[in-house]
Amino acid sequence: MGDLRDWLLSNKFEQYADAFEANDIDLDILPELSEPDLERLGVSLGNRRRLLKAIAGRSSGAAPPKPSDPGASGDAERRQVTVLFADMVGSTALSGTVDPELLGNLIRRYQDVTAGAIGRYGGFVAKFMGDGVLAYFGFPRAFEDAAERAVRAAIGIMAEVGGIERPDGTRVQARIGIATGVVVVGEIIGTGTAQERTIVGETPNLAARLQALAAPDTILISAPTQNLLGGLFDLELTGEHELKGFPRPVPAWRVRGETLVESRFAASRTGDNLPLVGRAHEMGLMLDRWRLARLGEGQIVTVIGEAGIGKSRSIEALQEAFAGEPHARVHLQCSSYHSDSAFYPVIQHISRAAGFATADSPGVRIEKLGVLFARRAESDVAAIPLLAELLSISAEPAAPLSLTPAQRKATTIALLVDEIVRLGETDPVLLVLEDAHWIDATTLELMTRLTDSIGRARLLAVVTARPDFAPPWQARPHSTLLALGRLGRSECAQLVAGVAASHGLSAETVAAIVAKTDGVPLFVEELTKSVMESASGDSAAVPATLKDSLMARLDRLGEAREVAQIASVIGRQFVFSLLDAVIPHGGTDIEAALAKLVEAGIVFPDGRGSERSFSFKHALTRDAAYESLLFSRRRELHERIARALEERFSALTTSEPDLLAHHFGEAGLAGPACDYRMRAGDLAVSRSAYKEAIAHFSAGLGMADALPKPEERMRRQLDFLLKLGPALMVMRGMQSAEVEDAYRRAEEIGAAVGDSVATTRPSGACGSTPISGARRLWRATVPASWWRSHNDPATAISCSKPTTADGRRLFSEVMLRRLWRIAVSATRPTI
Ligand SMILES: Nc1ncnc2c1ncn2[C@@H]1O[C@H](COP(=O)(O)OP(=O)(O)OP(=O)(O)O)[C@@H](O)[C@H]1O
Ligand SMILES: [Mg+2]
């Protein structure tokens, strides 16, 4: 902490040292502080900017990339980013008519307002280009709701720039384009104000084109952005547009405004809910607490579970369960970007309940408040002014309040608690507090006070939160903690079936989705949808709808993130010693990083084997970490892993050659990849695992394609084809087209490389006649010399055995079981 104080002192910001210290901020996390963070710490606007500059200067000076560091390739990575492009309308025309100094002032104000709105929603201003602003959401810091943040920032920009007056007396207008997509983000280049983070991909171009297309005061968004927003905003499709640089017409949506819904869950839904799967126990427990609450034994249930596990869905099911019963509802929704605004969920609820409209004057709002709180207003004259103040209604209070801020807060909390408890006098009350992990301190205080006051109230409070929230009311006798776990495999399959409905996914695809989604319903839904949308029915890639939230979890890891990325290249499971061998020493504290990954719930120690090993908790988190790596970096890491396996885990080269084949293959080293594929195929054949053998030989055949030298390439292909043939015969039968195809290709390649084994045409009886698959097989798998002396297969089989390993295997594995019977009949007509 002393270091931070010194740094603040040397930069003349010592006045903030106490605030930083009180919030456990140290030098290590300094670069991660955003403008809103600094605002929360009480840093003024000017100083925020100065501090951010000083922090950026410190980061670029203090942490030069280490040459041996795997991150030295510039920290560039692939990630999903939402790009916002905002431009001021008519500024070029203005430059001809207005004094440059005035124009400069105007542009500065415009930039300030725009950067302010972007900063409030966690965006990153990458560049000011005159009156144009380029900003990223989701980079350098990922947010699960990056697209939503970008649109909110855009709405904020529109509202605020409208307040700026131009020298000609008119109001400033803006156009905004927003697009989302996967881009390659690079390291910071330049210094000081010229500092810039490179970002490559079509997304920024699209955002710029949409911006140019937008009418004044309009926000246009791209299809992927629209897809991520669900029903959060009122959007209007403006049609498909021919845009320069884009081969096909691009659809664009205009943002008309926010949709007013009471919960984040309802807002993000576009279709109907699927029937609730499983959760019978949890529903039973909540319904039991509701029964007690109705009898006047107030209850609070805190539903804890990771993102997407089904907390909100369970509460929805609870509400559906007693929809027919008379009861009152209070819905408090916490917001990720209002964790510091006191009473935010309460203010939102009251505004909705009172029916405030945007155009309502303060007077009208006070009237509406009076109606909502009529009973209290009769007995408590201070109530309405207090509530009006809470809701920032700036009318003259009926009776001036002479309270200190602390008294005002205490009185407001007491009033609200009392109001909620009194609601239950008429009908039982269901109070839902959603997403308590984002709760502001004052609402938390209110909830704690409420919990202490509901012992005899007809009220059930249900609070949802992710696991990092510890409810202060946990120890109260009428409090229940309900941990939502993962769904079972069959429940997941049911969910897949529900989402895919008439789409009819194959059993294999369903199994692949279930395996990859680890019982998290959100993952199941999104992966199923993305498989249905992908033309190939492939479940390999992380769906766009999950990219942001998975990346946000990884971004919170700081330095440990890189260890997660390297581990992801090893696979979902990884042994410590291999990770240790792959990560260069001196740079990274692997133990500390792993401890952080475990603490963050990204990986968990896997106690199954004798080696110390770990597993990624979610396959999709592993995939997200892996997909964030540049292709070049993935190749580099795969090679490092393959070499480490060869050097330090040599037993694996014989017991798991497929593992080495995988890493060498992904590293782009076709030679060793082919060697190990061949070994893996042979191993499978030796275990009579022909299905696997076919997979290995086919993969090897594909891999051989990548060999640069034609001669070597063809010889490898021939090797694989000659192994593939017998294995295919066992699995598919002698006369199958695949067998025929394998030998036909073997013959062609053999002819091209002059391989006598495969190409010598039999002399005598069948020398010039067309030959069947069985004959090709025969010729291809025995040595030419042997073939020449025994040109009749029937005789050959009865009198002699071939001498090569392939020939012998053919005899023992195939001939004895099937060839005799089939080959003779199949080849008879041509002999
Ligand atoms: N048991 C279930 N049966 C059917 N669908 C479910 C079930 N649980 C969750 N879902 C669906 O999975 C998705 C994620 O669920 P939900 O939004 O309730 O998660 P959550 O735990 O509230 O996540 P967050 O922490 O992000 O709020 C939703 O679309 C929901 O409808
Ligand atoms: Mg939820």
Relative to the alpha carbon of 523, which ligand is closest?
Answer: 1
pLDDT (0 to 100) of residue 2: 55
| CB of 309 closer than 6 angstroms to any ligand 1 atom | yes
The tens digit of pLDDT for each residue in 693-723 reads: 999 999 999 999 989 898 899 989 988 998 8
| CB of 308 closer than 6 angstroms to any ligand 1 atom | yes
Ligand 2 centroid, distance to 266 Cα (angstroms): 9
Please check whether residue 350 is in contact with residue 387, taking contact to mean a CB–CB distance below 8 angstroms: yes
| CB of 804 closer than 6 angstroms to any ligand 1 atom | no
**CA end-to-end span of the chain:** 91
Average pLDDT of 162-186?
A: 89
Substitution candidate for ligand 1 out of 313, 314, 468 with most atoms within 8 A of CB: 313
Instruction: For ligand 1, atom 30, name the residue with the nearest CA.
Output: 313
Relative to the alpha carbon of 268, which ligand is closest?
Answer: 1
Rounded Cα gap, residues 825 and 116, in angstroms = 84
| CB of 466 closer than 6 angstroms to any ligand 1 atom | yes
| CB of 265 closer than 6 angstroms to any ligand 1 atom | yes
Relative to the alpha carbon of 273, which ligand is closest?
Answer: 1
> Is the pLDDT confidence value at 487 over 90?
yes
If one compares 127 and 203, the residue with the highest pLDDT of the two is: 203
pLDDT (0 to 100) of residue 824: 38
Query: Of all atoms in ligand 1, which is nearest to the CA of residue 307?
Result: 25
* CB proximity list for 349: less than 8 A, separation 6 or greater: 262, 330, 331, 332, 333
Rounded Cα gap, residues 594 and 600, in angstroms = 10
| CB of 527 closer than 6 angstroms to any ligand 1 atom | no
pLDDT (0 to 100) of residue 566: 94
Helix axes 619-627, 544-555, angle to 10 degrees: 90
> Is the pLDDT confidence value at 634 over 90?
yes
Between vectors from CA 176 to CA 170 and to CA 180, what angle results, nearest 5°? Answer: 170
pLDDT band of residue 790 (cuts 50, 70, 90) is very low
| CB of 307 closer than 6 angstroms to any ligand 1 atom | yes
> Is the pLDDT confidence value at 543 over 50?
yes
pLDDT (0 to 100) of residue 572: 85
| CB of 311 closer than 6 angstroms to any ligand 1 atom | yes
pLDDT (0 to 100) of residue 640: 94
Containing H/E element for 319? Answer: helix 311-321
If one compares 150 and 516, the residue with the highest pLDDT of the two is: 150
pLDDT (0 to 100) of residue 69: 31
If one compares 503 and 280, the residue with the highest pLDDT of the two is: 280
Instruction: For ligand 1, atom 31, name the residue with the nearest CA.
Output: 313
pLDDT (0 to 100) of residue 58: 60
Highest mean pLDDT among 192-201, 701-710, 789-798: 701-710
Residue 733 backbone zone (phi > 0: left; psi -120 to 50: alpha; other: beta): left
The tens digit of pLDDT for each residue in 223-281 reads: 999 999 988 899 999 999 999 889 999 999 999 988 877 777 777 766 677 889 999 99
**SS3 of the chain: helix, strand, coil, percent, to 5:** 55, 15, 30
pTM over 0.75: no
pLDDT (0 to 100) of residue 296: 92
Instruction: For ligand 1, atom 4, name the residue with the nearest CA.
Output: 276
Residues of the chain with pLDDT > 70, as a percent, come to 82
Query: Of all atoms in ligand 1, which is nearest to the CA of residue 524?
Result: 12
Mean pLDDT computed over every residue of the chain: 81
| CB of 230 closer than 6 angstroms to any ligand 1 atom | no
Query: Of all atoms in ligand 1, which is nearest to the CA of residue 521?
Result: 12
Count of CB atoms within 10 A of residue 131's CB? 22
Handedness of CA 628, 633, 635, 637 (dihedral sign): negative
Residue 90 backbone zone (phi > 0: left; psi -120 to 50: alpha; other: beta): left
Ligand 1 centroid, distance to 319 Cα (angstroms): 15
> Is the pLDDT confidence value at 283 over 90?
yes
| CB of 495 closer than 6 angstroms to any ligand 1 atom | yes
Relative to the alpha carbon of 468, which ligand is closest?
Answer: 1
Relative to the alpha carbon of 529, which ligand is closest?
Answer: 1
> Is the pLDDT confidence value at 541 over 90?
no
Among the residues of 687-709, which ranges form H helices? 690-704
Residues of the chain with pLDDT > 90, as a percent, come to 37
pLDDT (0 to 100) of residue 525: 87
Show the domains of the chain with their CATH numbers: 1-68 (1.10.150.50), 76-264 (3.30.70.1230), 279-483 (3.40.50.300), 489-541 (no CATH), 546-750 (no CATH), 754-825 (no CATH)
Relative to the alpha carbon of 277, which ligand is closest?
Answer: 1
pLDDT (0 to 100) of residue 63: 33
Average pLDDT of 646-672?
A: 90
Ligand 1 centroid, distance to 282 Cα (angstroms): 14
Count of CB atoms within 10 A of residue 260's CB? 13
| CB of 521 closer than 6 angstroms to any ligand 1 atom | yes
Q: Is the peptide bond before 657 cis (omega within 30 degrees of 0)?
A: no
pLDDT (0 to 100) of residue 92: 75
Instruction: For ligand 1, atom 15, name the residue with the nearest CA.
Output: 310
Instruction: For ligand 1, atom 5, name the residue with the nearest CA.
Output: 276
In the structure, ligand 2 is a single-atom ion and the residues with CB under 5 Å from it are: 311-312
Look at 28-37, 66-75, 295-304, 485-494 and tell me which has the smallest mean pLDDT.
66-75
* CB proximity list for 245: less than 8 A, separation 6 or greater: 202, 205, 209
Ligand 1 centroid, distance to 307 Cα (angstroms): 8
Query: Of all atoms in ligand 1, which is nearest to the CA of residue 264?
Result: 27
